[in-house]
Amino acid sequence: MDTKVADMLIGALVDGRYRVRGLVARGGMATVYAAVDERLERTVALKVIHPGQADDPRFVDRFTREAKTIARLTHPNVVAVYDQGNYEGLPYLVMEYVRGRTLRDMLSDLRRLEPVEALSILEQMLAAIAAAHRAGLVHRDVKPENVLIAEAPGTNSLMDAVVKVADFGLARAVEASAEDGDGQLLATVAYVAPELVTDGWADPRTDVYSTGIVLFEMLTGRVPYDGGKPLDIAWRHVDEDVPRPSKYVPEIPGHLDDLVVRATRRIPDERPTDAGAMLAEVQTVRDMVETEASLRGKTVAAPTIAVDTIRPVAGDERPSWARLPGRDEDQRTRRSASGTSYEARGVRSAGVRPSPRAAAGARIARSRGDAAMSWFRGVMSRPNGRRTFYVVLSVLALVVVLTGWWFGSGRYTTAPALNGLTKTQAVAAAQKAGFTVKISSSGVFEEKIPKDTVVGQDPPGHGRIVRGGTITLTLSKGPERYAVPDETGKQYDAAVADIGALNLIATRKDVYSDTVPAGIVISVSPKPTTLLQRGASVTLTVSKGKAPISVPNVIGQDFNSAAAQLSGLGLVVAQTQKQSDKPAGTVIAQNPQGGSGVEKNAQVTLTVSSGPPQVQVPNVSNQNLTFDQAAQALQQQGLVADRVNEGNGPVFNQNPPAGTTVPQGTHVQLWVYP
């Protein structure tokens, strides 16, 4: 959009409701303005499509349908669409106004983010994209420019920011309008998935790839491939593996490296099946990164060390733990003259006399502790006892280790890769590996993948799964096709509803009908049961009722009088000639028929008799033909022989003469010799 048009929109009242206040951003396909919805008194974002796109009727039609679909997508991390319309020939969207900045702006300022910050933003991005995937939508153009971040008031922490993803469906509308164009690459080349470059198709795994590139950029401050021509960059996604982020930022944890690598596999089947599957992986990695960050810098307990036993002084019967240096003084201070424990003496010094029960409890606990220590010393003093103790200790340690291993990784194994298999093959392979299989109730339409072929699995192929666990398979529903319904005889509105329910678009053609009431469907094109793609057009021919002029029946009338009668009704007369047994100039047929309804200036074609067919009279006189032979020759020409005189000889005269042109059925007189 040029600057002049953009400036003219500022201050304008769009659709009598949206007052444009200022420019927010200008992109390749549209310009975004801040506006005020004067009806609801709220600030909204007005996205106005550029004239270059608006001139394409395919784009406008697809854009309108996509806008309606996105408006039904409700999620806290999706930029909501409130309204859609057309202003001075330019399609526009009315969207939620997010007070913040794009992820692109943030990366321009900060260059790169801390791992926990990047994962926090990515989680909300994937939550939004996963909601779209569940609704059957693919974004196709995930990039920092389409991610809006509203930071929490009073804090600069990105952990508390709200992330919203924008422009769902807009990329698909442009893609549809470019199908017959120069084949230019739709998605931004820095984030484009290999399958979009090579085949031009996209599914949820395409968004997973682009999201992985966005994560790479948040962690490193750069995209994997840049510089050179856009087409060259796009093909690098096809020919090269995305490098690990730690190649550029060595301190990035290995978990994040692995996550980026899994999300950006060149083969779609090796990525998470959709944004929901990737979100689960991101949450696991985030927990690991946050745990490592929380432990970093904390004091770690020193390892236990062995202390040499102190030999007792002769006659000292106290246990070794009581004979450590300084222990005598400690013992003396811990006992009062009456033998009361340190705890009891402390209570007394506070002015409270300890109860006999408390003093007895302390003596019992002390006695039990002494007994336990005596038992332990007895066990450790015997060689077999020490061996038994260490064996038991080893067994307990092994149990702890095995238990930790089992719950940490031991009970897990690797899920088989089932994508591309038929349903029967996938179920057999999963069951052979010891897993149960669940078929997702929501399949996915695929133009190039046969019906009942696995296109997604949860957990993904080669992903972690509990032994004997359940693998959920998503199957292809085949090409998205809908059979044209037979709407003949239905009211137009009901027919439109039926066609719309099949994701087809109804168009109307009105004609007059002498037999079908007004508003009733006369015919459907293409014919019923024809299979069409989503969004294809179905033409409904609808009756306008009987036309205002009733055509009179003029068959049998002279052409001139019939033409005068029809012209007097405002009709146009056309004429064709045809031989018949009716007199020349007589109307022998008409189209439309008498009683039909037509509009003014409609054409009525009259078929007019040119009279009976004309034939030449053959020469049957002086040909040495008997009467019967001559009559037969005349009959072959459609003529009738009449005997003028009696006789059995040959015919010597005829009337009309030979060569005369006469109507069929004419009588020819014959004279015969006696």
By the 8 A CB rule, do 570 and 538 touch?
Answer: no
258 is catalytic: no
Amino acid at 611: G
b/e map 245-264, b = 16+ CB within 10 Å: bbeeeeebbebbbebbbbbb
Please name the residues in contact with 395: beta carbons below 8 A apart, sequence gap of 6 or more: none
- Whole-number Å distance between alpha carbons of 266 and 281: 19
d(CA 366, CA 550): 121
- Neighbouring C-beta atoms of residue 38, cutoff 10 Å: 12
The candidate with the shortest Cα–Cα distance to 211, out of 157, 282, 160, 105, is 282
Tokens of 443: 């399949």
* 8 A C-beta contact, residue 221 and residue 172: no
Q: Which two tokens stand for residue 37?
A: 């919805």
CB 218 within 8 A of CB 121: yes
Query: What would the two tokens of residue 375 be?
Result: 């038992």
SS3 598: strand
**Of the residues 141, 207, 269, 274, which is catalytic?**
141
Strands 521-525 and 464-466: unpaired
Q: Give DSSP secondary structure letters for 584-596.
A: TTBEEEEESPTT-
How crowded is residue 42: how many other Cβ atoms within 10 Å of its Cβ?
Answer: 12
Judge contact between 655 and 604, C-beta under 8 A.
no
Helix (H, G, I), strand (E, B) or coil at 488: coil
- Helix 204-220 and helix 254-263: axis angle, to 10°? 150
Residue among 168, 153, 159 at smallest CA distance from 47: 168
Interatomic CA distance for residues 23 and 489, integer angstroms: 53
Amino acid at 172: R
Q: Report whether 207 contacts 128 (CB < 8 A).
A: no
Active site residues: 141
